[in-house]
Amino acid sequence: MVKFPSDVLFEIFSRLPIKSLLKFRSVSQQWRNIIDDPHLAYMQHSRCVEEPKILLLDHHTQNEKPIDVTVTNVGVFLNADLNLVAKFSKSVTCYLEDCCNGLLCLSKSYDDRFLVLFNPLRQQVLPLPPSSASPKLRSRKYGFWFDRPKNTYNIVVVAVFLRESVDEKPCYKLRAEVYTLGTSSWRPLSRGPPCRLVGKPIFACGALHWQGPCKYNGDIGNIVSFDVRKEEFGLISPPKYDCLGYLLDLGGNLAMVDHSAMYFNRHIDIWVMKEYEKKEWVKEYKIDLKSHIERQYGHGVQVEVIGLCKLGQILLRQNENLLSYNLETGVLRNIPIPGFGLETNVLIYRGSLLSISSFH
């Protein structure tokens, strides 16, 4: 067998799909070492070799059933070829906290100090050391990111402590810690966020983002940002004062789904922050529910925007239905997935070649 230089193999392998590379590990020790090298995983992921996929995560809560992870190729919507690639067999229920470069960060339900990383394509699980925060907390919020200059994966946790107050009103204290994959412990940050965090984090433009608490009238409050380089929290104003909705990753940009007009005018607006440094929002898309979605699913339908699954196509969720919506034509297509239910987590997913076993 001809032995190619390592740099040549890196270039070739970085252009191949993960499924093929995992098979090639058995060819030779040289190939195995290169395929398991974290640098190749980064090259392969940054070149977007993998088709975007729909990742479905079912949380079983009875009879200690395993967590099922199904990855479905969304390159062709009409055929929706299902491919069960991993079954995370744990005897406890876990919840998805965040996803970064194809790695899932899951917390255990009985004590969310305990985290595991999971690579569905490698079928690898890595338990992480628990944060030092007391288990007797109001809540925890996690964020997961990759620091390219330092070549490290990191997790931030914001712990909410409920303190007694003299006026009998709830008083919160927020603490933040950061964990770097491969180390043995969490390190505290000098300052936590300015307010409590709501929902799942969105990573865009070098920062993690959460929604802040809603205002008294139900309108969205400020967005909380966490600059991962400076390790500092900040605040960003929402698109408009009466915005109702949630944050979204739209092609790497920070976006907000605004459904304040859904109940009367029957449409959803999607605002995008294209120039992050200026913190300016642009109303990029309008999804007309009345003309397209209600025609098929009836009046009063509730729709959740999942994300941009390919150019010009947005993935929507309507109860137990997954839909693709063409932003130009307004054409709506159903994505038939057997067993998809109300408790199923859905996200747009690109797989990872990274072997997390090397971080033990």
What pLDDT shows up at residue 170? Answer: 61
Q: What average pLDDT does the segment 23-29 reach?
A: 93
What pLDDT shows up at residue 165? Answer: 60
Whether the per-residue pLDDT at 253 is higher than 80: the answer is: yes
What pLDDT shows up at residue 350? Answer: 86
Integer Cα distance of 357 and 26 in angstroms? 18
* pLDDT class of 164 with cuts at 50, 70, 90: low
172 versus 154: which is more confidently predicted? 154
Whether the per-residue pLDDT at 22 is higher than 60: the answer is: yes
Q: What average pLDDT does the segment 160-168 reach?
A: 67
Q: In what order do the strands lie in the sheet with 332-335?
A: 304-310, 313-318, 321-326, 332-335
Integer Cα distance of 298 and 266 in angstroms? 12
Integer Cα distance of 181 and 352 in angstroms? 16
What pLDDT shows up at residue 101? Answer: 92
Whether the per-residue pLDDT at 77 is higher than 50: the answer is: no
Torsion angle (degrees, nearest 10) of CA 216, 222, 228, 230:
-110
Q: What average pLDDT does the segment 64-93 reach?
A: 50
Q: What average pLDDT does the segment 25-46 reach?
A: 92
345 versus 31: which is more confidently predicted? 31
Query: In terms of Cα–Cα distance, which of 359, 336, 357, 360 is closest to 54?
Result: 336
The answer to whether residues 96 and 57 touch, using CB atoms and an 8 Å cutoff, is yes
Look up the pTM and report it.
0.86
Whether the per-residue pLDDT at 39 is higher than 50: the answer is: yes
CB atoms within 10 A of CB 290: 12
* pLDDT class of 76 with cuts at 50, 70, 90: very low
Q: What average pLDDT does the segment 216-229 reach?
A: 81
What pLDDT shows up at residue 82? Answer: 43
Q: What average pLDDT does the segment 319-336 reach?
A: 84
Whether the per-residue pLDDT at 292 is higher than 80: the answer is: no
Torsion angle (degrees, nearest 10) of CA 23, 24, 28, 34:
-120
Place of tokens 């944050």: 247
Least confident of 91-95, 174-178, 221-225, 241-245: 91-95
Whether the per-residue pLDDT at 264 is higher than 70: the answer is: no
Q: What average pLDDT does the segment 286-295 reach?
A: 74
Q: What average pLDDT does the segment 275-291 reach?
A: 87
Domain range list for the chain: 1-49, 50-359
What pLDDT shows up at residue 163? Answer: 67
How much of the chain exceeds pLDDT 90, in percent?
A: 38
Q: How far is CA 158 from CA 13, 109, 133, 300, in A?
A: 38, 17, 9, 36
Tokens coding 331? 């054409």
Q: Superfamily assignment of 50-359 in CATH?
A: Kelch-type beta propeller (2.120.10.80)
What pLDDT shows up at residue 338? Answer: 73
* pLDDT class of 60 with cuts at 50, 70, 90: low
Query: In terms of Cα–Cα distance, which of 70, 203, 225, 212 is closest to 148?
Result: 203
